[in-house]
Structure 1
Amino acid sequence: MRIKTKLSKAVVLTAVSALALTACGGGGSDDGGGGEANDANKPDQLTVAAWMDFPQDVLDAFQEEHGIEVVVNSFADGAAAQEVLRNGLGADGAGLSDVHLIELDWWTEMMAVPEDWVELPEVPGRWVEWKVKQGSVDGKITGYGTDIGPLAIAFNEEMLSGSGLATDPESFGEFIGGDSATWQTFLDAGREYVAANDNYFIDSLTNGFQAAINLLPAAFEDPESGQPYNLADNTEVKDLFMMFAEAAEDDISAGIAIGHNDWGAGFQNEQWATVVTPAWMSGIIADNADGIPGWRIAGTFPEGGGNWGGSFFSVPATGENTEWAVKLADYLTTPEAAVSWFNTTGQFPSQLEAMESPEISDTENAFFGDQQVGKIYGELAAAAGDSAAGGFRGENFAGIQTLVTDGIRLVESDSATADEAWASVVKNFEALGFDTVR
């Protein structure tokens, strides 16, 4: 008998927000886009606002090369960093750091007034092209890319092989649909798995749902006006919602996503066999599933792949040290620094040279059965191509996505049927009073 953990609405919102704000990255030094800052205006110290660990060797190297101490203004999470940045931009830069880390899902909101940010010099050939486009406003670069989150499926081959369904990454790929894998074939594989096992197929369907939403050209808002679509009439989103919600009704998910208090315990109790795993989550899984054998990374992903997460370093225009802040943003996003970040925190680089570095592509991961995890994610990123950039994200993207994802969790927690959950989501959306289009 599979035991369902029920989630309150407050826990759901907290978990989704934590999940959406988890990804980030950066680190290193070269002669890239930072240019030559004026020594006459050189400060003793530069500040960076972020919510993740920095490789100390990168900070030390910048100080050794330039004689400037780098102080990281750390926040508990991305939500706290976002709030401080939002308030500072609304107060003519009061309280802002010299450099800010900005997460992809709230990038559009922070860049609503492009003049608030310093235009950054081009660095040809450093990043995957779509990352540069994401970090640009009206054709001007305002953010240097850190990490990306190419998507994979982590699965436990011992659980799958015990059911006679798959024995290795290749056969697991075939099990979920092979080269023609879709979210429907993945969810149907989940139904087949739970029919033969006493645990769940996946930790939570919200991860896959978010990945599917990210592939839509314009999920929630009109790219021309920025206004939200009328959710009741948004058939693309509704169709995806119902596909995942109906799988939740069929009990293939434990309803426990990253950010939930029971997520780590779920791994230790072998409560599920698969997790939708952006690159930045692989190290988190290794920590939470420590001591549990059989976890592997598959090279097959539904709909050809995608990306989840990633951040940018940007320089507020109101800062007193903007020339040197640009130099620091450049330094933190070089290929060498990206390799250091990967080795320190597991963040997967957006820098082309770093992706091809043997330190990333050839390194064997003991937890994942000595797989070359960096190589697998690099291949998945290449396979996804420009579609990995995702669709349009307006100022309300993150909030609407949280609202819709909350509906999936309602079904996972047995609090509503798929139809009831969709009706609830639409009602809550309409209560926000948006001036909608179509």
Structure 2
Amino acid sequence: MMRIDKRTARAAAFSAAAALTLAACGGGDGGGGSAAEEPSEENKPAELTVAAWMDFPQDLLDSFEEEHGIEVVVNSFPDGASAQTVLRNGLSADGAGLSDVHLVELDWWTEMMAIPEDWVELPEVPDRWVDWKVTQGSVDGRITGYGTDIGPLGIAFNQDMTSAAGVATDPESFGEFIGGEDATWQSFLDAGREYVATNDNYFIDSLTNAFQAAINLLPAAFEDPESGAPYDLAENTEVKDLFMTFAEAAEDGVSAGIAIGHADWGAGFQNEQWATVVTPAWMTGIIADNADGIDGWRIASAFPEGGGNWGGSFFAVPATGENTAWAVELADHLTSAEAAVSWFNTTGQFPSQLEAMASPEISEAENEFYGGQRVGQIYGELAEAAGDAAAGGFRGENFAGIQTLVTDGIRLVESGGATPAEAWDSVVANFEALGFETAE
């Protein structure tokens, strides 16, 4: 039975966003997107609500109540997809049913911010976050979301398995095995082919996660940044070439075809079915939970194409709320450096806050499961190495849904249901059936 927590549910929600949004959300009229009034005793509520799908450190909620005398009530959802649906419906109904503060995931950020006036403009907090996180959380130059975590990309690998295979004995040699500083997706997948050629297990759990990471690095994978309209997928050679690169590796048996969220993912670790997993920082704790009792797992310091980011969220304040002034205060509290450290220690979320990244509690903490590695330091270096690429490419309103269609094509090849060419044709047919008016 797979051991899984809410972070796993969150990750599974990334791929569950198959419902394409074909129309923008309707807007409310309670604030016009302007900055909220200053919080005061006169406008202080007894409680504030925050909608999210992850566990909150209790000390973080308690400290806000102790400082301000306001109780924080978490409206908890089982996963990001559920939170997304409630938020979408609330925005289209003039704010009905919305909380004072909402956690918004990066992959559906653009959809939720389609009408910027639906959201309160948040005050700038200089030098709190990495620059690209502030850029992600802004619309037309206005900050509408305060950053929580980020997902700098790394690769978890089992050095006992790669050592037995004679390809890598430690993080440094594994990095060289996949291409070193010049690693590409092709060199990574070719390393996988080399590994499976002489082993009776797989190189990677699933290529769908790796493919999603690769898509995130494209400047504009599926939509035209100028118009927001989807590109004609049949003519999208950049995505097709990337698709075929991964689909051909899937056909060659590089992966087990069992991604995070699959019922057999936990069992795969216990049975040592695969040697590597593409691992954003937030996934390290999930792997440690699912691979409990299995020795040899480490984090490599190299990543294909120089690195990137997968995931991350923001706290945003709906403009229709009755308590927007104090809601902004709460969003600020929940994204302080101290809060980020608390979240890292509680749930393993990697911070976007500069001070938190540098905190000894994160950068110097030795992770017992990963052989005493300083996982926080490694991911901080991976985030720095990725640079602006970590911000990802353009994500329009239909990004998540189109990505799901294309990723399902990789999954189809992994399952043996189609050749790469047949899978691509199926993806294109499914896209065309949606009837998009595509970009010129």
TM-score of the superposed pair, with normalisation by structure 2:
0.93
Distance apart, 1:20 and its partner CA: 4.3
2:227: which partner in 1?
A: 225
Distance 2:254 2:236 in 1: 26
Tell me which of 10, 13, 27 is aligned to 1:18: 13
Give the counterpart letter for 1:77 in structure 2. Answer: D
1:109: which partner in 2?
A: 111
1:422: which partner in 2?
A: 424
Give the counterpart letter for 2:13 in structure 1. Answer: A
Indicate yes or no: 2:318 matched with 1:323. no
* 1:244-288 deviation digits (Å, cap 9, x = unpaired): 000000001000000000000000000000000000000000000
Whether the 8 Å contact between 1:21 and 1:78 is mirrored in structure 2 is: no
2:5: which partner in 1?
A: none
* 1:100-145 deviation digits (Å, cap 9, x = unpaired): 0000000000001100000000000000000000000000000000
CA 1:165–1:302: 2 relative to 1, 3 Å: same
How many residues of Structure 1 are paired with residues of Structure 2 in the alignment? 415
1:312: which partner in 2?
A: 314
Indicate yes or no: 2:250 matched with 1:248. yes
Distance 1:19 1:78 in 2: 8
Give the counterpart letter for 2:130 in structure 1. Answer: V
Between 36-45 and 388-397, the greater mean CA deviation after superposition? 36-45
CA 1:310–1:187: 2 relative to 1, 3 Å: same
Give the counterpart letter for 2:196 in structure 1. Answer: V
Distance 2:37 2:170 in 1: 49
**Helix, strand or coil for the counterpart of 2:411?**
helix
Distance apart, 1:91 and its partner CA: 0.4
In structure 2, stretches of 5+ residues that fail to align are 1-8, 18-34
2:194: which partner in 1?
A: 192
* 1:257-296 correspondence to structure 2 within 5 Å: 257-296=259-298
2:208: which partner in 1?
A: 206
* 1:56-104 deviation digits (Å, cap 9, x = unpaired): 0000000000000000000010000000000000000000000000000
Distance 1:289 1:270 in 2: 9
Whether the 8 Å contact between 1:104 and 1:312 is mirrored in structure 2 is: yes
Whether the 8 Å contact between 1:150 and 1:279 is mirrored in structure 2 is: yes
CA 1:35–1:92: 2 relative to 1, 3 Å: closer
Whether the 8 Å contact between 1:101 and 1:312 is mirrored in structure 2 is: yes
Distance apart, 1:196 and its partner CA: 1.1
Whether the 8 Å contact between 1:296 and 1:368 is mirrored in structure 2 is: yes
Whether the 8 Å contact between 1:21 and 1:103 is mirrored in structure 2 is: no
TM-score of the superposed pair, with normalisation by structure 1:
0.93
Whether the 8 Å contact between 1:98 and 1:325 is mirrored in structure 2 is: yes
Whether the 8 Å contact between 1:58 and 1:332 is mirrored in structure 2 is: yes
CA 1:35–1:365: 2 relative to 1, 3 Å: farther
Tell me which of 368, 391, 413 is aligned to 1:389: 391
Indicate yes or no: 2:406 matched with 1:400. no
Distance 1:193 1:387 in 2: 29
* 1:62-101 correspondence to structure 2 within 5 Å: 62-101=64-103
Distance apart, 1:15 and its partner CA: 10
Distance 2:99 2:14 in 1: 25
CA 1:376–1:210: 2 relative to 1, 3 Å: same
* 1:149-164 correspondence to structure 2 within 5 Å: 149-164=151-166
Whether the 8 Å contact between 2:36 and 2:121 is mirrored in structure 1 is: no
Distance 1:300 1:237 in 2: 24
* 1:309-354 deviation digits (Å, cap 9, x = unpaired): 0000000000000000000000000000000000000000000000
Distance 1:102 1:288 in 2: 27
Give the counterpart letter for 1:81 in structure 2. Answer: A
* 1:184-241 deviation digits (Å, cap 9, x = unpaired): 0000000000011000000000111011100111000000000000000000000000
Give the counterpart letter for 1:47 in structure 2. Answer: T
Whether the 8 Å contact between 1:34 and 1:329 is mirrored in structure 2 is: no
* 1:156-190 deviation digits (Å, cap 9, x = unpaired): 00000001110000000000001100000000000
Distance apart, 1:19 and its partner CA: 4.1
Distance 1:19 1:298 in 2: 24
Distance 1:15 1:94 in 2: 24
Whether the 8 Å contact between 1:335 and 1:352 is mirrored in structure 2 is: yes
Indicate yes or no: 2:122 matched with 1:127. no
Distance 1:317 1:17 in 2: 29
Give the counterpart letter for 2:428 in structure 1. Answer: V
Whether the 8 Å contact between 2:36 and 2:324 is mirrored in structure 1 is: no
Distance apart, 1:18 and its partner CA: 2.5
Whether the 8 Å contact between 2:282 and 2:348 is mirrored in structure 1 is: yes
CA 1:222–1:230: 2 relative to 1, 3 Å: same
In structure 1, stretches of 5+ residues that fail to align are 1-13, 23-32
Distance apart, 1:437 and its partner CA: 1.5
Distance apart, 1:17 and its partner CA: 5.0
2:27: which partner in 1?
A: none
Distance 1:317 1:250 in 2: 51
Give the counterpart letter for 1:309 in structure 2. Answer: G
Distance 2:11 2:423 in 1: 16
Distance 2:196 2:206 in 1: 14
**Helix, strand or coil for the counterpart of 2:341?**
helix
CA 1:338–1:35: 2 relative to 1, 3 Å: farther
Whether the 8 Å contact between 2:37 and 2:324 is mirrored in structure 1 is: no
**Helix, strand or coil for the counterpart of 1:193?**
helix
Give the counterpart letter for 1:157 in structure 2. Answer: Q
Indicate yes or no: 2:370 matched with 1:375. no
CA 1:247–1:389: 2 relative to 1, 3 Å: same
Whether the 8 Å contact between 1:218 and 1:393 is mirrored in structure 2 is: yes
CA 1:34–1:316: 2 relative to 1, 3 Å: closer
Distance apart, 1:37 and its partner CA: 1.0
